[in-house]
Amino acid sequence: RKEVEQDPGPFNVPEGATVAFNCTYSNSASQSFFWYRQDCRKEPKLLMSVYSSGNEDGRFTAQLNRASQYISLLIRDSKLSDSATYLCVVNAKDFNKFYFGSGTKLNVKP
């Protein structure tokens, strides 16, 4: 079983739509969770950390469900510029090691 699993998509949504991605992780001892965004042929960039109580940054909301071992990312009022691959990242038992999900591709259409 993979350490981190994501639906690869693609998710094709119209501008203004709300879209949600989930990511499941296998190690119940994981402590740190992140969402990264990667544009085509660019490096991944940290979008937001995911905190136990859930957190919001503008149109983006991240949630953590420890009992079910998943994290989610909600994007409201999608913009064309949100089109990218979204990677969830979870730390391993060794805190300097992180596992990447395979990424979920989002296409926002006009």
Q: Minimum CB separation from other proteins for residue 50, in Å?
A: 10
Residue 59's identity, in one-letter code, is R
Q: Minimum CB separation from other proteins for residue 66, in Å?
A: 15
Q: Minimum CB separation from other proteins for residue 30, in Å?
A: 9
Q: What is the distance between the alpha carbons of residues 24 and 48, in angstroms, rounded to a whole number? A: 17
Nearer to other proteins, 18 or 31 (CB): 31
Q: Does 22 bind other proteins (CB under 8 A)?
A: no
Which residues, other chains included, contact 99 with Cβ-Cβ below 8 Å and sequence gap of 6+?
3, 4, 25, 89, 90, 91, 92
Q: What is the distance between the alpha carbons of residues 92 and 42, in angstroms, rounded to a whole number? A: 25
- The contact set with other proteins (CB under 8 A) reads 31-32, 34, 36, 41-46, 49, 87, 89, 91, 94-98, 100-103
